[in-house]
Amino acid sequence: MTQELITISPIDGREVVRRAYASETQIAQALANAQSAQPAWHALGVQERGRLVSAAVDRFVEARDEIARAITIQMGRPLRYTPGEVAGFEARARHMIAIADEALAPIPAPPQAGFNRYISREPIGVALTIAPWNYPLLTAVNSIVPALMAGNTVILKHSDQTPLCAELIERAFRDAGLPKGVFQYVHASHEIVQRMIRAPEIGYVSFTGSVRGGRNVEESAAGRFIGVGLELGGNDPAYVRADAKIEHAVETLVDGAFFNSGQSCCGIQRIYVAKPLYDEFIERAEALTRAYVLGNPLHADTTLGPVVRTRAAAEIRGIIAEAVSAGAQNMIDPSHFKEASESSPYVAPALLTRVNHHMRIMNDECFGPVVGIMPVDNDEEAIALMNDSPYGLTAAVFTQDEDAALRIGRQVRTGTFFMNRCDYLDPALAWTGVKNTGRGVSLSAVGYEQLTQAKSFHLRSV
């Protein structure tokens, strides 16, 4: 069994991080430290926990440039964009801190003479966050900060592709003065993580990743009766109605499809366009796509970086080739992007027309800069196609008619429904999904419910 992780940068194939995996003894110590620290952490109260977690966010944001560069080097997103993920981490963290007092407040029962009745929200104990590489800060903060604010202790296991992110988060919490054991990270193999999930100290698991990975988490937690939050990806659709502002729709959706080289669970992968707008939409989308600059993400002019690794690029190219062989047309000539290469992680963006729902691009997740576009006759056809997917993370409609958007949104099976935007997460709203996207909720006041245990107090005066 491999005893260490090695992170290979997709920029140039060089090794950028090497770390030993935690031993069984180290894992046992981390679990013990988290469990022993939790009661005192909870006893501090929401206000003091908020002060310490806020101080950690301050420390983290102060290191913005260092963190942004670490993200770029490890997973390849252009450096012009990675500071935005630090800002997103801060925004989500500060929102969850701000609402914690109200979200965690006891729930009073209706008054009854001679009785004091209420429901308190108690911490579950130790939370394990398993975070992926594609948005290494944003996926982690969704559970880390609310878990801590709720009085839990947290152990973070980050992807082997982005281990520096775990270390930098831990450094900020340590520098802010959090007590020992309240927040820890471990670098661990899949086998060790599965054993951690089975450990009696763990009371909740938050996992963001693939459907296969989510199944492994559920299987490891089976019979333990603990909470499991799973965010497992998407095949997210958008519908451009005939009354849409087409320039806005094209700009928003092309960015929603290709930002982060398409490596976003809530990125746009399927676009349905009302027939009167279809030709103009394709023409505008082609022009905008050709304006991307594919190249070294450390260069200031690069707007599209490599995907995470060469074998992922090969899978993406295979999905494109499969669609084309089945009748699809790629409106973008890959040779326009000089850095694109069959033997590298640099993938040219693809706009696929003449697609159908028998093609993988339209019915399964493709984690790359590829989008399929279909014309539709009406709202009913668009709704049926949007729902024809095993996933359900987000969906979007572009229209100037809010009533129509609400009518469509109520019929689309999804976790978040947008009007005139996409590929976005609002920390004041519940982040959740349906079907193979998983189960559970993070962020918003509702997100605190998974990280706490209801406890009823029924007090009678005699």
Q: What amino acid positions are annotated as catalytic residues?
A: 231
Question: Are the C-beta atoms of residues 258 and 292 closer than 8 Å to each other?
Answer: yes
Would you put residue 58 in left (φ > 0), alpha (ψ -120 to 50) or beta? alpha
Q: Within a 13 Å sphere around the CA of 391, how many CA atoms are in the beta-carbon half?
A: 28
CA nearest to 209, candidates 433, 425, 30, 369: 433
- The amino acid present at 278, given as its one-letter code, is Y
CA nearest to 213, candidates 265, 261, 258: 265
Residue 341: CB partners within 8 Å, gap ≥ 6?
none
Reduce the DSSP state of residue 166 to 3 states and report it. Answer: helix
In the block, tokens 């689309």 appear at: 412
* 303 Cα distance to chain centroid: 21
Return the exposure string of 294-310: e unless at least 16 CB atoms fall within 10 Å of the residue's CB, then b: bbbbbeeebbbbbbbbb
Reduce the DSSP state of residue 454 to 3 states and report it. Answer: strand
Question: Are the C-beta atoms of residues 139 and 208 closer than 8 Å to each other?
Answer: yes
The token pair that represents 129 in the structure block: 């966050």
